[in-house]
């Protein structure tokens, strides 16, 4: 049977979007909040992520242990994540357990007590999480890069916050930020799987009572800052991120940047992987990725290599970027990248949680459902000339930001 998509907007403005997929066993339900680290003040950086943790720590009728036991007793998953622009709380269960999953999600989202003792314990957990990132240079470099790339803008702040901010956030901060920000205008509930839209609406009735305020803190459009930052650290490798501005999430050129990223560092057949790892063995990990937001974006290359080959790897990365400016890519390479991109997207949409996520992202960034047909046609329309023109625009030395951590030699940073 074909899946069907439904959308209902409650009187308070909250949108509920579902995709009925009767041929699978599971269902995934997500509460999406259009609030992330970019909506925070410097002094409260990390509060969205802190609240994400605290919503699992007890409600008026459930302890933290009750929450964990109830969802695990049916083999379900209950989790959450915070990003730069959104926070999501979600559950995945067998379809027969949808009422339980919705009840738990509604309870933690609407009735959390933010108990003072639990808050202090969870503060320690988040501080340990920050320490973990600081001890993991191949994670940390991405935060160092974002801070340099979006210098002075909230988009560059770490999602987890830092020691000072997380230590200073108190219960009043948490409660007032939650009440102001986690409101219907900022919420979307999406669900996909073996479910029925009408039945789900009845289960989600508690959300009809949420009051309507319009207080999302808008942030200015970020502007990227080219330049070089490096942090000396006694590590076995130098970890680097090199990036350039790219079209944003909903930009008409998005299919071009998807393909350029795939060709550049999107897999084992990509130019970066072949040049740096396969031909020369200079890195174990080398790849590129896109960080696309509402009003801005970046294309970022990551590599980890020995200190004495750092300069060589940097020159090779720049050489690979230059190959995209010299001539149009061949038909065979472009076709292969298109098939890779379409194949990975379609394979990625086989689960209920990936469908639930797509519903939310489509609504957040496009205010509509983007069909798979539209996406595949968008990819197919991209020409070799489109890729060449985009590369000429973004692979410009004046637009590049480089961040590195490790035993960095300054002479290697000249490019």
Instruction: Give 173-201 pLDDT, tens digit per residue.
Output: 999 999 988 888 889 999 999 999 999 99
pLDDT at 215: 58
Query: Looking at residue 183, what is its pLDDT?
Result: 83
Q: Is the pLDDT score of 103 beyond 70?
A: yes
As a whole-number percent, the residues of the chain with pLDDT over 70 amount to: 98
Q: Could you report the per-residue pLDDT of 231-265, keeping only the tens digit for each?
A: 999 999 999 999 999 999 999 999 999 999 999 99
pLDDT band at 211 (very low <50, low <70, confident <90, very high): confident
Q: Is 109 helix (H, G, I), strand (E, B) or coil?
A: helix
Indicate if the pLDDT at residue 168 is higher than 70: yes
pLDDT score, position 272:
98
pLDDT, tens digit, 9 for 90 and up, residues 51-81 = 999 999 999 999 999 999 999 999 999 999 9
Residues 6+ apart with CB under 8 A from 193: 19, 21, 24, 26, 27, 28, 95, 352, 355, 356
For residue 273, the model assigns a pLDDT of 97
Domains and CATH numbers, the chain: 4-209 (3.30.830.10), 227-413 (3.30.830.10)
The residues carrying an active-site annotation are: 52
Per-residue pLDDT band at 155 (split at 50, 70, 90): very high
Confidence of residue 217 (pLDDT cuts 50, 70, 90): low
Contact 405, 144 (CB under 8 A): yes
3-state secondary structure 105-136: HHHHHHHECCCHHHHHHHHHHHHHHHHHHHCC
| Mean pLDDT (whole number) for 132-161 | 97
What distance in Å separates the CA atoms of residue 168 and residue 178, rounded to the nearest whole number? 16
Asked if residue 408 has pLDDT above 60, the reply is yes
pLDDT at 180: 87
Read off the pLDDT band of 411 (50, 70, 90).
confident
* Residue 184: Cβ-neighbour burial (10 angstroms; 0-12, 13-18, 19+): buried
Pairing of strands 15-20, 187-193: parallel
Residue 171 has pLDDT above 80, yes or no: yes
Q: What integer pLDDT is reported at residue 182 of this predicted model?
A: 86
**Residue 132: is its pLDDT beyond 90?**
yes
> For 21-37, what is each residue's pLDDT tens digit?
999 999 999 999 999 99
Extract long-range pairs of 171-177: CB within 8 Å, 24+ residues apart: 171/114, 171/116, 171/119, 173/44, 173/47, 174/47, 174/50, 174/51, 174/54, 174/114, 174/119, 175/114, 177/44, 177/47, 177/48, 177/51
pLDDT of 216 higher than 60: no
Question: pLDDT grade, residue 213 (50/70/90)?
Answer: low
Residue 266 is encoded by which pair of tokens? 């999107």
The whole-number pLDDT of residue 414 equals: 72
pLDDT at 415 exceeding the cut of 90: no
Pick from 5, 64, 16, 6: nearest CA to 207: 16
Tell whether the model's pLDDT for residue 19 goes beyond 90: yes
Give the model's confidence band at 3: pLDDT under 50 very low, under 70 low, under 90 confident, else very high: confident
H/E segment holding residue 383: none
Instruction: Provide the pLDDT for residue 161.
Output: 97
Per-residue confidence (pLDDT) for residue 313, from 0 to 100: 97
At residue 1, the pLDDT reads 59
What SS3 class is residue 204? coil
**Closest Cα partner for 21 from 29, 33, 13?**
29
**Mean of the per-residue pLDDT values for the chain?**
95
- Adjacent-strand bridge partners of 402: 228, 242
Residue range 190-218: average pLDDT? 86
pLDDT at 413 over 90: no
Q: How far apart are the first and last CA of the chain?
A: 56
pLDDT for 410 equals 83
Evaluate whether 19 touches 196 at the Cβ level (below 8 Å): no
Question: Does residue 212 register a pLDDT over 70?
Answer: no
């Amino acid at each position: 049977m074909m899946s069907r998509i439904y959308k209902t907007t409650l009187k308070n403005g909250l949108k509920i979007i579902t995709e009925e997929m009767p041929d699978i066993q599971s269902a995934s339900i997500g509460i999406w909040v259009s609030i992330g680290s970019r909506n925070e003040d410097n002094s409260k950086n990390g509060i969205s992520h802190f609240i994400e943790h605290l919503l699992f720590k007890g409600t008026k009728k459930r302890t933290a242990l009750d929450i964990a036991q109830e969802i695990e007793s049916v083999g379900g998953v209950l989790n959450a994540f915070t990003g730069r622009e959104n926070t999501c709380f979600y559950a995945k269960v067998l379809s027969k357990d949808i009422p339980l999953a919705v009840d738990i999600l509604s309870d933690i989202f609407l009735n959390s007590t933010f108990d003072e003792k639990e808050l202090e314990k969870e503060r320690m957990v988040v501080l340990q999480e920050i320490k973990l990132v600081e001890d993991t240079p191949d994670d940390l470099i991405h935060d160092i890069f974002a801070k340099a790339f979006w210098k002075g803008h909230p988009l560059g702040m770490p999602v987890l916050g830092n020691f000072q901010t997380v230590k200073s956030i108190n219960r009043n901060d948490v409660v007032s930020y939650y009440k102001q920000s986690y409101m219907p205008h900022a919420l979307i509930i999406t669900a996909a799987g073996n479910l029925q839209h009408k039945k789900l609406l009845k289960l989600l009735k508690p959300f009809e009572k949420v009051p309507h305020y319009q207080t999302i803190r808008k942030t200015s459009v970020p502007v990227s800052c080219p330049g070089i930052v490096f942090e000396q650290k006694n590590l076995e490798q130098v970890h680097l991120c090199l990036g350039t501005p790219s079209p944003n999430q909903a930009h008409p050129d998005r299919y071009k940047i998807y393909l350029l990223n795939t060709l550049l560092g999107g897999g084992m057949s990509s130019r970066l992987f072949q040049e740096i790892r396969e031909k020369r063995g200079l890195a174990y990990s080398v790849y590129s990725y896109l960080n696309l937001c509402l009003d801005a974006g970046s294309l970022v290359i990551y590599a980890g290599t020995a200190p004495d080959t750092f300069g060589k790897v940097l020159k090779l990365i720049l050489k690979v970027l230059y190959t995209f400016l010299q001539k149009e890519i061949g038909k065979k390479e472009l076709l292969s990248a298109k098939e890779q991109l379409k194949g990975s997207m379609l394979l990625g949409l086989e689960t209920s949680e990936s469908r639930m996520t797509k519903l939310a992202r489509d609504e957040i960034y496009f205010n509509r459902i983007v069909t798979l047909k539209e996406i595949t046609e968008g990819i197919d329309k991209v020409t070799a000339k489109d890729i060449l023109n985009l590369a000429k625009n973004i692979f410009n030395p004046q637009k590049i930001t480089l961040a590195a951590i490790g035993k960095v030699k300054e002479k290697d940073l000249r490019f």
